[in-house]
A = this chain, B = another copy of it.
Amino acid sequence: MPEREQSTLVDRVTSKIFEMLLSGEIPLGGPVNEAALAELLSVSRGPVREAVKQLQGRGLVVKEPYLKARAVALTVPDMVEIFQLREAVEGMSVRLATQRMSDAELDDLLAAFSDAKQRGDGVALDVHVRIAEGSGNARVRALLCDELYYLLRLYRARSGKAPGRREDAFAEHWQILRAMKARDAELAESLMRAHIGRATQSLQALLATEAPSLGGTEERKTG
């Protein structure tokens, strides 16, 4: 055990399993075996059990009593549900942030966004994170940052990025930030909901054209 960044074993195990989900080492929809993970990570089954339970709480793992736990399938319909929820919550997030962030905080956010834009950096999620933090509502922030964004990252890591609306997203973010700067909470909320609503629609379009299930979800024997 070289480093002790996170204080407790469970946290490290949780992070490790999440990385395994991101990387595909555990396939989407595939089984999550406590004993195997315990041996792989050289820990007992207890911490693994708690880590899995925690991931279950975050919606990354589903399980029923005595049945094998499985990684979330993350089908396109799942993502549509997540985006509908995001639309509502992020709308409220930006509304509150518009009312509660100080001018200094807003300027800082604007500046960071401009920099990132010029570097061509992929900061989409970071803008959303900072708005959530600026909302002053810990539950909204936790829901977005600690739950939904994990699922988003997982989906993006697995499905070859979102539909490539990279430049559109920049423009939309810029509009939202301007509305915040103008202290127009209604407008900021509308813009945010439209922003996410568009992503939802492209997901639903995908759903119409593509096969219903997303790659790599087969059950796979390890032996």
Contact = CB atoms under 8 A, between A and B. Distances in A.
A7 interface: yes
Given A49-B50, A50-B49, A57-B54, A89 B85 contact: yes
Interface centre among A88, A92, A143 (most CB of B within 10 A): A88
A7 B65 CA distance: 7
Nearest to A89: B88
Interface string A58-76: 1100000110000000000
B57 A57 contact: yes
A53 interface: yes
Interface residues of A, number: 28
B137 A81 contact: yes
A8 B54 contact: no
Contacts of A50: 49-50, 53
A38 B109 CA distance: 48
A152 interface: no
A133 interface: no
Copies in the complex: 2
Nearest to A93: B88
Interface in A8-57: 8, 11, 46, 49-50, 53-54, 57
A65 B11 CA distance: 10
A137 B53 contact: no
A138 B65 CA distance: 20
A112 to B, nearest CB: 25
A87 B81 contact: no
Contacts of A49: 50
Contacts of A11: 65
9 contacts: A46-B46, A53-B54, A53-B57, A81-B137, A81-B139, A85-B92, A88-B88, A88-B92, A89-B89
Given A8-B66, A85-B139, 14 more contacts: A7-B65, A8-B65, A50-B50, A53-B53, A53-B54, A54-B57, A81-B137, A81-B138, A81-B140, A84-B92, A84-B96, A88-B88, A89-B89, A143-B143
